[in-house]
Amino acid sequence: MDEVITDSALAAVPVVDDTVFVEVLDKHATLIERHRFAQLPLSLGTSYRSDHIIEAETDSAAQVTVLRGDDGALWVTAPESAPEFWAPGGKTRRWRVDASRSLIVAGQRIRIRTRDYAPVASGSRAARPNSLRGLGVRAWLWAVPLALATYALETWLSDTDGERTSMYVTGSITVIVILALWSGAWALVSRLTGRASHFLSHVAAAALAIAAVFVLDYFLDTLAFSFNLPIIQRYDWSLVSIAVAMLVWCHSFLIARTQARTAALAAVLIGGALFAFQGLTFYNQRGDLASTLTLSVLRPPALRVASGTDVEGFFKEAGALKDRAEKSRPEKPDGLDFGGLGED
């Protein structure tokens, strides 16, 4: 087997007619390894006779041969005894190499390219380096402390009985445990869909999401108070669902490198399920005054921008409540009996 080379090294490779690059891909066509071979014919398989030993999960000793045909193009030929072979086009045992398409040899997805198709100029997703994955390795070092700091700040703001260290310690441990479990689950997904778990990248993403939700929630509450926008507080519970959906997409698409559609579906499903759960909970609590109160958040007077109305103005606007309350009178009082709305 020849040496494994990197993208940067490719630029320095001199042009040789018979140079062939065999790219090992994961099942989503994400590039895992690239090998250069200088001579043809080339044999690929799982046995020691192969030029490139493919570490397939199945133990197929069969080899395929890559050679240049009379037409000058590269051809892949597989013997009838190679059961784990598949090439675009179906039940073929001889396939003309298409650098843009992958084939399966000995159960492993690969792609064959010549110097002409060297991936230097390639813009495909699989060929792009995973910048977030690289960033994640370092990012967790500051993202996790940031999440813990925002949690501590939130705790401090609501701790009016005097600081209790135990509350901060147990809370921080809880945050770390949740981070670990969540990231661990996503690392497992990464391992199943690709070839690496990227645990630290997942940790970094989740920690950043925790910090972002804390900060954004406080910011929105302040905004609602400052500008007298109760509607923000009425619906800001959905922020968590949106944040979780975005986080899931980030875990799935950017780190686990799943297909865009799969990532979007996961985000919509998980975020949507949370949204639906929260929505139903609020619907069920619609009689609860607490669910209608936005007084649950106040801020110091210096942060108030909106001017107040006078008593007269308040009761003038509150006059509309009579009609609204009377219109809701025929609603069914309990459960989710949407069909009963409008009946007495």
Question: Would you tell me which residues interact with another protein (CB under 8 A)?
Answer: 156-162, 228, 230, 286-290, 292-302, 304, 306-311, 313-315, 317-322, 324-326, 328-331, 333-334
Residue listed under structure tokens 């009689």 = 287
Nearer to another protein, 11 or 157 (CB): 157
Minimum CB separation from another protein for residue 303, in Å?
8
Nearer to another protein, 121 or 302 (CB): 302
80: CB partners within 8 A, 6+ apart: 93
Nearer to another protein, 175 or 224 (CB): 224
Minimum CB separation from another protein for residue 216, in Å?
17
Minimum CB separation from another protein for residue 268, in Å?
30
Nearer to another protein, 16 or 298 (CB): 298
Nearer to another protein, 96 or 332 (CB): 332
Round to whole Å and give the CA distance between 148 and 184: 18
Minimum CB separation from another protein for residue 302, in Å?
7
Minimum CB separation from another protein for residue 304, in Å?
6
317: CB partners within 8 A, 6+ apart: 309
Nearer to another protein, 27 or 286 (CB): 286
Helix (H, G, I), strand (E, B) or coil at 76: strand
DSSP summary character for residue 252 = I
Distances (CA, A) of 96 to 12, 22, 219, 342: 28, 15, 59, 68
Minimum CB separation from another protein for residue 233, in Å?
9
Q: What number of CA atoms fall less than 13 Å from residue 92's CA on the CB side? A: 13
Annotate 183-231 with DSSP letters as a single string: HHHHHHHHHHHSS---HHHHHHHHHHHHHHHHHHHHHHHHHHHHTT-HH
